[in-house]
Amino acid sequence: MGRRCFVIVNPTSGSFSQPKVDSIMNGLKQGGMEAELLPTTSALDPALFAKRLCDEVADPLIVVAGGDGTVNGVLNGLTAKAATLAVVPMGTSNVLARELKIATAEDAVARIVRGDTRPVSVGEISCGGETKRFLLMAGVGVDGAVVEGVRLAEKRRFGKGAYALSAFRVMRDWDRASLTVTGGGRSVECHSVIVCNAVRYAGDFLLAPQADLFAPGFQVVCIKGGRTDYFKLFLLLLAGRVSEGSGVTVFSAEEVEITGNKAVQCDGDYFGCAPLRMRSLGEFMRVVV
């Protein structure tokens, strides 16, 4: 009998389809895996499923068939160093899958069957008396406000376009307040900050080329300026040429403190308002690569 795995599926993910789920399950079984399907019915289920598996199973292999939000939910139910995670891309942006260079669901299944893994580090954010982990990035300021302002009806209808609509509203109702970001021996005053645990941002945009999922620590990207500066930054993102300078300051840190009062997003989900603290948790879990 092959290794047992638990497939957490989010039926509300952006590219979900039952035939795709059936294909994933069949591929795992044909590869010799003993796969158990765990469909979610609420936003709380990924964390609850992950917690139960860590409590009841030694070193569970948890397969997330969903998007980055579902991955984050599972991450926040895991016990440190107690599980192995695999991802099958079925979301809207699938940033983690892009980071791991997983092209398709079939590619993901083949990697799960092969079984190669590496330890990854994650971030932990403490904000407003609550604590949450993130795998990809956390942003404070403009992107936090954009995520906070996404309307569910627009997301269901337009997918990624809902973020563009929210961004338009954020640009229209411009917030001029500033933040102070402290970490890695630096203190920077800026308009927004994105703390990156991974290279990619919002899809395939290369925001922090020096970031590394497999090593502790963050790349902290501080953004100054007004609407025009953000438009220029967006053009640089499209061209894959974001670098320090022109209103952008980048530094490395394992712990970050942010003061100010702006919206926070964590792996693409809204998570309250600054002030806050973040820290890097080295080798928190293993990931199928």
pLDDT tens readout for residues 23-32: 999 999 999 9
Q: Tell me which of 89, 115, 141 is where a domain ends.
A: 115
- Total number of domains in the chain: 2
- Residue with the two structure tokens 């598996």: 53
C-alpha–C-alpha distance, residues 187 and 189, integer Å: 7
**Residues 79 and 204 occupy one common structural domain:** no
Quick: pLDDT tens for 110-133: 999 999 999 999 999 999 999 999
Instruction: State residue 19 phi and psi, 5-degree precision.
Output: -60, -35
Residue 285 domain flag: no
- Map residue 279 onto helix, strand or coil: strand
Q: Tell me which of 92, 115, 138 is where a domain ends.
A: 115
Query: What is the mean pLDDT of the segment spanning 98-119?
Result: 96
* Residue 89, both tokens: 């891309």
**Residues 275 and 164 occupy one common structural domain:** yes
**Residues 240 and 258 occupy one common structural domain:** yes
Residue 287 domain flag: no
CB 116 within 8 A of CB 35: no
**Residues 138 and 102 occupy one common structural domain:** no
* Residue 14, both tokens: 């952006």
Instruction: State residue 199 phi and psi, 5-degree precision.
Output: -70, -45
**Residues 65 and 181 occupy one common structural domain:** no
Q: Would you say residue 229 has pLDDT above 60? A: yes
Query: What is the mean pLDDT of the segment spanning 64-81?
Result: 96
Query: What is the mean pLDDT of the segment spanning 59-82?
Result: 96
Q: Tell me which of 115, 136, 152 is where a domain ends.
A: 115
**Residues 87 and 229 occupy one common structural domain:** no
**Residues 169 and 274 occupy one common structural domain:** yes
First to last CA, the chain: 22
Residue 83 domain flag: yes
Query: What is the mean pLDDT of the segment spanning 188-200?
Result: 96
| CATH assignment of the domain containing 138 | 2.60.200.40
Residue 74 domain flag: yes
pLDDT for the residue 47? 98
Q: What pTM did the predictor assign?
A: 0.93
**Residues 141 and 244 occupy one common structural domain:** yes
Residue 45 domain flag: yes
**Residues 64 and 139 occupy one common structural domain:** no
Residue 289 domain flag: no
**Residues 206 and 241 occupy one common structural domain:** yes
| CATH assignment of the domain containing 45 | 3.40.50.10330
pLDDT band at 190 (very low <50, low <70, confident <90, very high): very high
C-alpha–C-alpha distance, residues 74 and 89, integer Å: 14
Pick the closest to residue 44 from 288, 238, 274, 269 (CA basis). 269
Strands 4-9, 34-39: parallel, antiparallel or unpaired by DSSP?
parallel
Quick: pLDDT tens for 47-56: 999 999 999 9
Q: Would you say residue 241 has pLDDT above 80? A: no
CB 265 within 8 A of CB 143: yes
Q: Would you say residue 104 has pLDDT above 70? A: yes
Range among 1-5, 69-73, 222-226 with highest mean pLDDT value: 69-73
C-alpha–C-alpha distance, residues 137 and 68, integer Å: 11
* Enclosing H/E stretch for 155: helix 152-158
Q: Average model confidence (pLDDT) for the chain?
A: 94
**Residues 95 and 148 occupy one common structural domain:** no
pLDDT for the residue 88? 97
Residue 257 domain flag: yes
Would the CA dihedral through 246, 247, 248, 254 be positive or negative? positive
Residue 169, number of CB atoms within 10 A of its CB? 13
C-alpha–C-alpha distance, residues 192 and 225, integer Å: 9
Query: What is the mean pLDDT of the segment spanning 75-81?
Result: 98
pLDDT for the residue 1? 57
**Residues 32 and 104 occupy one common structural domain:** yes
Residue 28 domain flag: yes
Provide the domain limits for residue 263: 124-279
